[in-house]
A and B are shown apart, each in its own frame.
Chain A
Amino acid sequence: MQKALLGIDKISTFVGHAFSWLIVALTALMTWEIFSRRFFDSPHAWTFDAQIQLYGFLFMTAGAYTLAAQGMVRGDVLYGFLAPRVQATVDLVLYVCFFIPGIVALTYAGWIYAGESWAIGERSTVMSNGPPLYWFKSIIPFAGALIGVQGLVEITRCVLCLRDGEWPSRKEDVEEVDVDKLKEMVHVKDEDIAKLDDLVVQQEKKKAEAAGSHGEGAA
């Protein structure tokens, strides 16, 4: 079971990783276009469509990846303080109530939407003879389906968590705040922080003493 879950994680992550390189392409394309337009006086009309599509592909396909990597923003007033089983119950109920209807509707609607685009061979109207749009629109059902499958994985995880009382493990991915890496970057070791602790304790003690003597003085 765990193997299958991790396997689907892997697919989502692979797609997300593959498409995330589009940001490098987007940067390069726009930088090139700015130079080309400003300094060589030769703008390219198609870059507007291209940049929009690169951006659209980038974030739509990264949806499932972000879900798999638990990168979707959640309110954390309560959640972090709940026991795993309660977390799983809350998640399970909300996945069924909101996630499934939302994603199923989006995927189905996107399927029709993209199908219509394919049927008429739709092209962008930003410029004359613009690039095709049907590929771009197909990304809606594609991304929706990917997120849907990833959602099923998450639902299974909730069930497993309800059974075992703890969350099944996940594969690690690059993190925004990777404390160990940051420590390495600024050359700080755990011992240094531990040493500092004495200073903190000292300061606290001094403060407590000061407060104590002050209290006595007042009395």
Chain B
Amino acid sequence: MKVKIRKELIFGLALMAIVVISTLWAMPPLSKWSNGHYGLFMLSMIVVAIMLGFPTAFTLMGMGVIFTFIAYRSGAPSGIAIRQTLDLMTQRAYSVMTNDVLISVPLFVFMGYLVERAALIERLFKSLHLAIGRIPGSLAVATLATCAVFATATGIIGAVVTLMGLLAFPAMLRSKYDIKLSAGVITAGGTLGILIPPSVLLILYGATASVSVVQLYAGAFFPGIMLAGMYIVYVIVRAALNPRLAPKPPPEETRVDMPEWALRLSGGNVNRLAFPVIARALASGAAGIARSKLAVRFAMSLVPLVLIVAPVAVVYSAVTTVDVVDTGGLEEIGTEQAAEQEEFAGGVEEPPGSEEAAAAPAAAAKPPAAAEKPAVAEKPAAPLAAKASPSAPAPDRKPPPLWFWGLLALALVLLGVVYATLTFERLEILKMLLGSFFPLSALILAVLGSIIFGWATPTEAAAMGAAGGFVLAAGYGKLSLNLVKESAYLTAKTTAMVCWLFVGSSIFSAAFALLGGQQIIEHWVLSLHMTPVQFLLLTQVVIFLLGWPLEWTEIIVIFMPIFLPLVGIFQNDPNLHSSMGIDGKDLPLFFGLLVALNLQTAFLSPPVAMAAFYLKGVAPKHVTLNQIFAGMMPFMAIQVFALVVLYLFPDIGLWLPHLVYK
């Protein structure tokens, strides 16, 4: 152990020495220092000071004030310089206090704590695992999916990794999964929340770079999904190639608990098709089974129908409408939504009298299904439109293109497959999903959708998300004064941490700019005669390297103000479009997406790999940190690969913002 501590110390000290020595090496002798050199000196000092471990916000503030004074002092007598320094400080602090982008930080954080404390992760993981039980590495895939959804909704990396370390890690170990693979999926999955919007990282980037958070959210959506998809594909492929890494879980892990009456109805055969039996029983009345229960099951069995038909109908109405951006159409959908919403909620809601103790989990799952109305509403809206439009085509409709019929056929096939395999067991799984997966993804989609489609500003959507968090917690019966109190306290702490960091860094970057450190860097970059591609590569490599010793907050608030003016230079580069395939005006947005994806690696790169330490904290004691680190490495490689893919195909990120804000 002693040796190990030494190693860490040596590593840290070596990093600091590298920073100091390379700064001194690159700088002219002290006597020739200009103000700009002081700026660069300050920059390298801040990296060293952060590594020493002092609260970063105050290091930034203190250094900022000292160097601001130096900068002003070089042009004016002390008295005026002091006055100017003080003015700058308050003006910077006040601008953070009145920042209408950062205001969504506490709201999203609050939403996250409320959702986390609604305690639905256990149910979420179990139902997802049962739902995909047949594919190779199902437990690992379910872990990734749970992480992606839960981390996106809460954004609290530490809690997600810890919870999954308590839930999924034991499950995977019991199924004899490889330790490294198990550790890798938990740590990598847990950090997805910082990329997939709504994430605080993107808000901070938006506030630093003056890029619209709305566009960042729209842009980061697909890269986030892509990264999660790559993790999943990687796990499936590895599990398929080498089943010893991820053996099939023992049967007791995949057993579905069926209520007694459902077993009776199915005649003891859980693989019997559920839909016709329930429909018949509902119509004729089955002995000893309450109608209400049957009705609930029947309504649930209709959910796949709605989920498949709805998107098709949306596409239909989109491709046949002559004027796509017709606000009248939007309103119409809205009203239909409201009507359908009520129907839907009515169908799912269980009459209060029919609850029974034996079906406690089922009863608990019910309220959220009803509570998710606002979000599910987006989907159920469509069937009405679908039913209405073919029969009475409005004059402003044009005939759908050929591919639409292909899509329709595909949807019908899918529908057939789903209902041909919807057994009693699957229906039970669907019920569990409805109680865990759907409310959460509905909450996320509602928040995101309303931001991306411009129905609400990010701040408003964040407030609605926090309100949704309340509803969710209430729906799972967890809402209490204590829960709200704890969530509020934690929100205050997290917000203070982020925003004080912002106060410090905005004073710091003002000092850096005043000293002219920025000019020196710009001159240097321009003197290299880089192409935009080379520039982007260089900055991403720098950010990747910074991610090893530093945390993402520090990288965003300290280094983005330095990189972004450079991005501004390359925005006007005539070769940009031909070499990268993106327009200059999109560059800050695209850069932000690259940074967000890149900073995922900061969570998995030792020695400050937060995720690893959280997992270690709850893992059995023979699981070593080195095993966890080793497990994370393939996922870090995937992150880099995803970065390259996004780099080669910028449209993955830019397509949605272009579509919505053209």
| Chain A residues within 8 Å of B, Cβ to Cβ | 16-17, 19-21, 23-24, 26-27, 30-31, 34, 48, 51-52, 55-56, 58-60, 62-63, 65-67, 69, 71-82, 87, 90-91, 94-95, 97-103, 105-106, 108-110, 112-113, 136-137, 139-140, 151, 173-177, 179, 182-183, 185-188, 192-194, 196-197, 199-201, 203-204
The residue from B51, B495, B608 contacting A62, defined by CB atoms under 8 A apart: B495
- B residues 52-92 near A (Cβ < 8 Å) are 52-59, 61-66, 85-87, 89-90
A192, B169: Cα distance in complex, Å: 12
* Pair count A-B, CB < 8 A: 286
A130, B163: Cα distance in complex, Å: 46
Minimum CB–CB distance from B264 to chain A (whole Å) comes to: 29
A-B contact pairs, 14 of them (CB 8 A): A26-B107, A31-B466, A52-B97, A58-B106, A60-B97, A62-B496, A72-B57, A77-B12, A78-B52, A98-B49, A101-B62, A106-B65, A183-B166, A196-B173
A120, B652: Cα distance in complex, Å: 53
Q: Identify whether the interface residues of B are mostly helix, strand, loop, or mixed.
A: helix
A188 x B167 contact (CB < 8 A)? yes
- B residues 1-48 near A (Cβ < 8 Å) are 5, 8-9, 11-13, 15-16
- CB-CB under 8 A from A52, the residues of chain B are 97-98, 100, 103
B61 x A103 contact (CB < 8 A)? yes
A24 x B488 contact (CB < 8 A)? yes
Q: Mark B441-484, 1 if CB is under 8 A from A, else 0.
A: 00000000000000010011001101100100000000000001
B94 x A140 contact (CB < 8 A)? yes
B55 x A105 contact (CB < 8 A)? no
Chain B: which residue is nearest A183 at the CB level? B166
Minimum CB–CB distance from A154 to chain B (whole Å) comes to: 9
- B residues 564-621 near A (Cβ < 8 Å) are 607-608, 614, 617-621
- CB-CB under 8 A from A192, the residues of chain B are 170
A65 x B496 contact (CB < 8 A)? yes
- B residues 155-184 near A (Cβ < 8 Å) are 156, 158-159, 162-163, 166-167, 169-170, 173-174, 176, 178-179
- CB-CB under 8 A from B623, the residues of chain A are 200
A31 x B463 contact (CB < 8 A)? yes
Given A27-B466, A77-B51, decide whether A66 and B488 contact each other with a Cβ distance below 8 A.
no
User: Which of B13, B57, B90 has the largest count of A CB atoms less than 10 A from its CB?
Assistant: B90
Given A20-B489, A73-B551, A110-B90, decide whether A105 and B460 contact each other with a Cβ distance below 8 A.
no
Q: B319 contacts the other chain (Cβ, under 8 Å)?
A: no
Lowest 8 CB-CB distances: which A-B pairs, in order?
A79-B53, A98-B62, A20-B492, A30-B463, A102-B61, A109-B86, A102-B62, A62-B496
- Identify which of B134-142, B352-360, B497-505, B537-545 touches chain A: B497-505
- CB-CB under 8 A from B13, the residues of chain A are 78
Q: B122 contacts the other chain (Cβ, under 8 Å)?
A: yes
Q: B493 contacts the other chain (Cβ, under 8 Å)?
A: yes
A75 x B50 contact (CB < 8 A)? yes
**Interface residue tally of chain B, by bracket?**
35 or more
B170 x A177 contact (CB < 8 A)? no
B98 x A98 contact (CB < 8 A)? no
- CB-CB under 8 A from A106, the residues of chain B are 61, 65, 89-90, 93
A73 x B54 contact (CB < 8 A)? no
A136 x B56 contact (CB < 8 A)? no
Minimum CB–CB distance from B114 to chain A (whole Å) comes to: 9
A130, B192: Cα distance in complex, Å: 42
Q: B298 contacts the other chain (Cβ, under 8 Å)?
A: no
- CB-CB under 8 A from B57, the residues of chain A are 72-73
A203 x B52 contact (CB < 8 A)? no
- CB-CB under 8 A from B16, the residues of chain A are 78
Given A73-B501, A74-B56, A101-B62, decide whether A196 and B170 contact each other with a Cβ distance below 8 A.
yes
- CB-CB under 8 A from A78, the residues of chain B are 8-9, 12-13, 16, 51-53
- CB-CB under 8 A from A187, the residues of chain B are 122
Q: Identify whether the interface residues of A are mostly helix, strand, loop, or mixed.
A: helix
Q: B110 contacts the other chain (Cβ, under 8 Å)?
A: yes
B58 x A102 contact (CB < 8 A)? yes
The residue from B62, B463, B504 contacting A26, defined by CB atoms under 8 A apart: B463
A192, B618: Cα distance in complex, Å: 11
A52, B499: Cα distance in complex, Å: 13
- CB-CB under 8 A from A51, the residues of chain B are 103, 459
A72 x B56 contact (CB < 8 A)? yes
The residue from A48, A62, A79, A110 contacting B492, defined by CB atoms under 8 A apart: A62
Chain A: which residue is nearest B171 at the CB level? A196
A71 x B166 contact (CB < 8 A)? no
The residue from B62, B106, B619 contacting A99, defined by CB atoms under 8 A apart: B62
- CB-CB under 8 A from B281, the residues of chain A are none
B15 x A77 contact (CB < 8 A)? yes
- CB-CB under 8 A from B162, the residues of chain A are 177, 179, 182
Minimum CB–CB distance from A107 to chain B (whole Å) comes to: 10
A194 x B620 contact (CB < 8 A)? yes
Chain A: which residue is nearest B89 at the CB level? A109
A194, B170: Cα distance in complex, Å: 10
A176 x B492 contact (CB < 8 A)? no
Minimum CB–CB distance from A198 to chain B (whole Å) comes to: 8
A75 x B551 contact (CB < 8 A)? yes
Q: B622 contacts the other chain (Cβ, under 8 Å)?
A: yes
Minimum CB–CB distance from B24 to chain A (whole Å) comes to: 20
Q: B121 contacts the other chain (Cβ, under 8 Å)?
A: yes
A24 x B167 contact (CB < 8 A)? no
- CB-CB under 8 A from B87, the residues of chain A are 109
B61 x A94 contact (CB < 8 A)? no
- With contacts A66-B500, A176-B494 known, what are 7 further pairs, Cβ within 8 A? A23-B492, A67-B55, A94-B52, A98-B49, A109-B86, A151-B58, A196-B169
A71, B501: Cα distance in complex, Å: 12
B467 x A31 contact (CB < 8 A)? yes
Chain B: which residue is nearest A190 at the CB level? B618
Q: B553 contacts the other chain (Cβ, under 8 Å)?
A: yes
B492 x A186 contact (CB < 8 A)? no
Q: B639 contacts the other chain (Cβ, under 8 Å)?
A: no
A174, B116: Cα distance in complex, Å: 15
A110 x B93 contact (CB < 8 A)? yes
Q: Mark B126-154, 1 if CB is under 8 A from A, else 0.
A: 00000000000000000000000000000
B621 x A75 contact (CB < 8 A)? no
A113 x B456 contact (CB < 8 A)? no
Minimum CB–CB distance from B515 to chain A (whole Å) comes to: 17
